[in-house]
Amino acid sequence: MAEAILEAHGLVKHYPLTRGVLFRKEVGSVKAVDGVDFTLHRGDTLGIVGESGCGKSTVARMLVNLERPTAGCIKYKGEDITRLSGRALKAVRRNIQMVFQDPYTSLNPRMTVGDIIGEPYEIHPEAAPRGDRRRRVQELLDVVGLNPEYINRYPHQFSGGQRQRIGIARGLALRPEVIVADEPVSALDVSVQAQVINLMDRLQSEFDLSYVFIAHDLSIVRHISDRVAVMYLGRIVERGRDTEIYDHPTHPYTQALLSAVPVPDPEARERRERIILTGDVPSPTNVPSGCRFRTRCWKARDVCAEEVPLLAVPARLREPGGPAGHESACHFAEEKQVVAAEAR
The site for ligand SF4 (CB under 6 A) is made up of: 252, 291, 293-294, 297, 299-300, 304, 309, 330-332
Query: Which residues make beta-bridge pairs with 241?
Result: 227
What angle is formed at CA 29 by the lines to CA 19 and CA 71, rounded to 5 degrees? 135
Residue 327's closest CA among 261, 235, 260, 259? 235
Residue 75: CB atoms within 10 Å: 16
Cβ closest to ligand SF4, residue 40 vs residue 304:
304
Q: Which does 284 bind (CB under 5 to 8 A by kind): ligand ATP, ligand SF4, Mg ion, none?
A: ligand ATP
Q: Provide Rg for the chain, Cα atoms.
A: 21
What does DSSP assign to residue 279?
S
The CA distance from 126 to 284, in Å, is 42
Cβ closest to ligand ATP, residue 282 vs residue 323:
282
Among 5, 54, 99, 197, binds ligand ATP (CB under 6 A): 54
The CA distance from 262 to 259, in Å, is 8
Task: Decide: is 284 part of the binding site for ligand ATP (CB under 6 A).
Answer: yes
What b-and-e string marks burial along 317-335, b requiring 16 or more CB atoms within 10 Å of the CB? beeeeebbbbbbbbbbbbb
Cβ closest to ligand SF4, residue 217 vs residue 238:
238
Task: Decide: is 57 part of the binding site for Mg ion (CB under 5 A).
Answer: yes
The CA distance from 73 to 36, in Å, is 10
Q: Which of residues 180-219 bind ligand ATP (CB under 6 A)?
A: 216
Please state the closest distance from residue 205 (CB atom) to ligand ATP, in A: 28
Q: Which of residues 55-84 bind ligand ATP (CB under 6 A)?
A: 55-58
Amino acid at 329: A
What string of DSSP letters covers 182-236? ESTTTTS-HHHHHHHHHHHHHHHHHTT-EEEEEESSHHHHHTT-SEEEEEETTEE
Q: Which does 116 bind (CB under 5 to 8 A by kind): Mg ion, ligand ATP, ligand SF4, none?
A: none
Size of the site for ligand ATP (CB under 6 A): 13
The number of residues making up the chain comes to: 344
Cβ closest to ligand SF4, residue 90 vs residue 299:
299
Task: Decide: is 254 part of the binding site for Mg ion (CB under 5 A).
Answer: no
The CA distance from 271 to 105, in Å, is 40
What angle is formed at CA 70 by the lines to CA 53 and CA 42, rounded to 5 degrees? 75
Please state the closest distance from residue 4 (CB atom) to ligand SF4, in A: 29
Task: Decide: is 15 part of the binding site for ligand ATP (CB under 6 A).
Answer: yes
Among 23, 52, 149, 191, binds ligand ATP (CB under 6 A): 52
Q: Which does 133 bind (CB under 5 to 8 A by kind): ligand ATP, ligand SF4, Mg ion, none?
A: none
Q: Which does 216 bind (CB under 5 to 8 A by kind): ligand SF4, Mg ion, ligand ATP, none?
A: ligand ATP
Task: Decide: is 106 part of the binding site for ligand ATP (CB under 6 A).
Answer: no
The CA distance from 42 to 6, in Å, is 8
Q: Which does 293 bind (CB under 5 to 8 A by kind): ligand ATP, Mg ion, ligand SF4, none?
A: ligand SF4
Q: Which does 32 bind (CB under 5 to 8 A by kind): Mg ion, ligand SF4, ligand ATP, none?
A: ligand ATP
What angle is formed at CA 133 by the lines to CA 103 and CA 5, rounded to 5 degrees? 65
Binding site residues, ligand ATP, CB under 6 A: 15, 30, 32, 50, 52-58, 216, 284
Binding site residues, Mg ion, CB under 5 A: 56-57
